[in-house]
Structure 1
Amino acid sequence: MNHLTDLTVDQWAVAVAVVAAVIAVWQATIARRSAAQQLALAERIHREQNEPYVIVDIQPERNDGSLLLVIENAGPTVARNVRISCDPPLESSWTPVGDEPDLTQVIQQVLARTIPMLPPHRRLTFLLDSRERFKNTELPRVYTFTVNADGPAGAVETLEFTVDLDAVAWALLEDRPTKQLETKLGKIEKAVLALRPGEPSSPTGTLPGRLGQQRPGSVQSGAARPSRAGAVVNAPADDVRQPAGTGGRDEEQPDHAQAGDHHAQQAD
């Protein structure tokens, strides 16, 4: 403490400057390291966005449920020298009959060969096995595919895909062949339940109506209508209006007026 009290103002200024310089160097080092990490991350994102992305999967066929080996380039650029390996070796339970090819041998030959070029969104599909594979407990159920390929900037990062056939079996419930039939039968069932018991359905294009219902503005035979005097008169069935200009309308007006006055007097 005595040494600190013996320091002059200039010495204190020098000490503070040294401490500030050390802090500045430390902050600059952290900022430089952070900038380098951000630059590396940006370069990696840019590289991955422009690299091919080769996917290997086992998918069920929608119609009959057979298993397919699918190789697809989901990236935006061309994949070159695509190399695929599988652990354990991929096998098929399909038993060839006659001149039919051995699917196990065909699939292993496909995976052993290097694919020279796989354009973007190109999909290669190979028959692997039938639907009965899910009942076979002797063959492996889980496979791991390792994919190596070259992109525009050189070698692409190694990718690994794990396929579980038990999970694929559950996916067949969504794409079962009878799904469309079940959907149509469900619609028919809803339409039948919507119909009320004992109520016949109307023919297409017709509207049900009450008996004796007429269009607005039409005069019904024997129907009552108001007269000029305010009384209600019964229009005869043969009371048909004549077109304008024939004189019939002007001739009928006095008769209706007299009939209205007569009925009004009877009402009084």
Structure 2
Amino acid sequence: MSTSTWIAAAAVVVAVAALFYARRSANAAREQTKIQRQLREDAAQPYVWADLRPSEEHGQFILLVIGNSGPTLATDVQVSITPELRTQEKERSGLIHKALADGLSALAPGRTITWNLGVPWEVITKGQPNIYRIRIRANGPFGAVPAMTYSVDLETLRYSLAVPPGTLNGIAVAIAKASKTLSEAVVGQAAD
């Protein structure tokens, strides 16, 4: 074989190797672009959640709270809870389940909707199921958000702290009470 043939053969081998690595690099770039696009879409989807929790303000009520912690509007929000929630008043349970069955047309970012289920000793009862299965479906700007299903056990709340932490409402009540006491003392001094 002549030198020029060897050089041509070597050039073909180098070209095939370069083509192989170029194709591999292009495939990796396409895959990376696909991952980046999916990350961008996932980050822009709403994050809808539901919780059964004690009231932070009063402590003596169990609440159903539905919220959107994502950056965009959630639409066609469907929340189903099984078994049917017990509430202090049977009528309230039917209204809550009807609202959930009808769904929420939209839930803005940072928005929560809260329903009062009643006092814990009426809602959390021994001998009854206190584990609720929550399923959430919603749509965002890039279509359907993956459905979430999880359980909430109200039994964990049975012996939890029932006294709310300090709130602005508590401060306002204390100020009003102090103001009234001060006013009565001033009026009493003026009368003397």
Scaled by the length of structure 1, the TM-score of the pair is: 0.52
For 1:139, which of 125, 129, 138 is the aligned residue?
Answer: 129
For 2:163, which of 177, 201, 214 is the aligned residue?
Answer: 177
1:77-92 → structure 2 map (5 Å cutoff): 77-86=72-81, 88-92=82-86
Task: Give unpaired runs (5+ residues) of structure 1.
Answer: 1-6, 181-268
Deviation at 1:111?
Answer: 1.4
Deviation at 1:126?
Answer: 1.0
1:184-223 → structure 2 map (5 Å cutoff): none
Tell me which residue corresponds to 2:24: 30
Deviation at 1:123?
Answer: 0.8
Tell me which residue corresponds to 2:34: 40
Deviation at 1:109?
Answer: 0.9
Q: When you count strand as a share of all residues, which structure comes out higher?
A: 2
Deviation at 1:70?
Answer: 0.9
User: For residue 34 of structure 2, what is the amino acid of its counterpart?
Assistant: A
Equivalenced residues, count: 164
What's the secondary structure of 1:92's corresponding residue?
A: coil
Task: Give unpaired runs (5+ residues) of structure 2.
Answer: 167-192
- 1:223-267 CA-to-partner distances (Å, cap 9, x unmatched) read xxxxxxxxxxxxxxxxxxxxxxxxxxxxxxxxxxxxxxxxxxxxx
- Equivalent residues of 1:144, 1:163 under 8 A apart: yes
CA 131–80 in structure 1, closer or farther in 2 if over 3 Å, else same: same
Tell me which residue corresponds to 1:110: 99
User: For residue 112 of structure 1, what is the amino acid of its counterpart?
Assistant: A
Moved over 6 A (4+): none
1:73 maps onto 2:68 in alignment: yes
For 1:165, which of 138, 142, 153 is the aligned residue?
Answer: 153
Tell me which residue corresponds to 2:43: 49
Deviation at 1:115?
Answer: 1.2
Task: State the identity as a percent.
Answer: 23
Tell me which residue corresponds to 1:213: none
- Equivalent residues of 1:60, 1:168 under 8 A apart: no
1:242-261 → structure 2 map (5 Å cutoff): none
Tell me which residue corresponds to 2:138: 148
CA 168–43 in structure 1, closer or farther in 2 if over 3 Å, else same: farther
User: For residue 152 of structure 1, what is the amino acid of its counterpart?
Assistant: P
CA 11–85 in structure 1, closer or farther in 2 if over 3 Å, else same: farther
Deviation at 1:179?
Answer: 6.9
Counterparts of 2:27 and 2:127 in 1: how far apart (Å)?
Answer: 54
Scaled by the length of structure 2, the TM-score of the pair is: 0.70
- Equivalent residues of 2:48, 2:136 under 8 A apart: no
- Equivalent residues of 2:49, 2:136 under 8 A apart: no
- Equivalent residues of 1:57, 1:161 under 8 A apart: no
Counterparts of 1:25 and 1:69 in 2: how far apart (Å)?
Answer: 60
